[in-house]
Chains A and B, each alone.
Chain A
Amino acid sequence: MKHLMRTFALPTLLLAAAPAMAHNPMCECEELASGQVKCTGGFSDGSGAPGVTLDVIGYDEQVLVGGKLGEDSTLTFKRPDGEFYVLFDAGPGHVVEVDYADIPQP
């Protein structure tokens, strides 16, 4: 039954005969030496997230960079000036935010 639970399964599914566990969305960003930021999206079971939307949004809610993760589940963009956050958006209620302050500079 595992395949049924791959769509954002959550812990109540432990009820099932063979326990299937949650896999939560995740997103990690790091700044490369060249002033570029590389974000990697995925799910905690190890699955990638190719094609999932990843937007870079200013604190004023202006979308600075709008993109989709590539086949390797990453997206690289130039670090915007000012305050911003990265939104990994796999649909309503399945988002991960990464604040600019949490993106370590080399």
Chain B
Amino acid sequence: MSRAQTLTASPLKQAWLKWRFHLNILLILIPLGFMPKYFADAKLFRGEAGLGANIVRDIQVGPYSLDLAEMRDQEPQADGPAGFFKVFNAALCKACIQDVKATYLRIGKPRSLRAAGTIFFGAPYNMSTSLPIPPRTSPDAQIWITVEGWDGSMHQASVPLAQASPATVAWLKKQGGKK
């Protein structure tokens, strides 16, 4: 069975007919373009690209010390109604791994151990946590690290947010008074 079908060809249609194959090319370019990023991310997730960006080394927290880094040098990411978050990584000193029960991160000094902030999870050589960043945070705020020992002791230290995550501070300044 063979029949003829007629279609009127407007200039728009002609352009479409001519260019639609180039859509294919565009679609193929997407994964090619993202491939370097894909492999860089895979390396980052395997921990082979180091702890992260803007590493602050040997932060002394009581008798312990740790390195802190933001996962990526970028502004906080929104998680819908829960607000904005930044992923931070940390590495405990090798000698303190046995003694440390938990490590927490919070913007501003915690009121209590219960409200110490968000907990680091994963191997102490390379642990992560997702830190909430309230949009009203002052750009000169400090990030507070709380270390809880198995013996029940609690130790604290702080680093300037501007040092640990310049991109977050830039974002806060840009955000200025919006919320």
Which chain A residues have a beta carbon within 8 Å of chain B's beta carbons?
A: 8, 10-12, 14-15, 22-26, 28, 43-44, 57, 61, 85, 87, 89, 92-97
Contact = CB atoms under 8 A, between A and B. Distances in A.
| B114, B117, B120, B122, most chain A CB atoms within 10 A | B114
Contacts of B117: 93, 95
Residue among A8, A10, A25, A43 having the largest count of chain B Cβ atoms under 10 Å? A10
A12 B79 CA distance: 15
B158 interface: no
B128 A11 contact: yes
Given A8-B121, A44-B79, A94-B118, 12 more contacts: A12-B45, A22-B130, A26-B83, A28-B81, A44-B82, A61-B112, A92-B119, A93-B104, A93-B119, A93-B120, A97-B111, A97-B115
A14 B45 contact: yes
Contacts of A25: 82
B124 interface: no
Given A10-B121, A28-B81, A44-B79, A92 B129 contact: no
Given A44-B79, A44-B80, A94 B128 contact: no
A72 B170 CA distance: 39
B130 A10 contact: yes
Q: Is the interface of B mostly helix, strand, loop or mixed?
A: mixed
B87 A11 contact: yes
Contacts of A93: 102, 104, 116-121, 129
Contact of A10 (B87, B104, B111, B115): B87
A12 B128 contact: yes
Contacts of B119: 92-94
A28 B125 CA distance: 35
Interface string B71-86: 1000000011111010
Contacts of B81: 26, 28, 44
B82 A24 contact: yes
Contact of A11 (B83, B104, B114, B130): B130
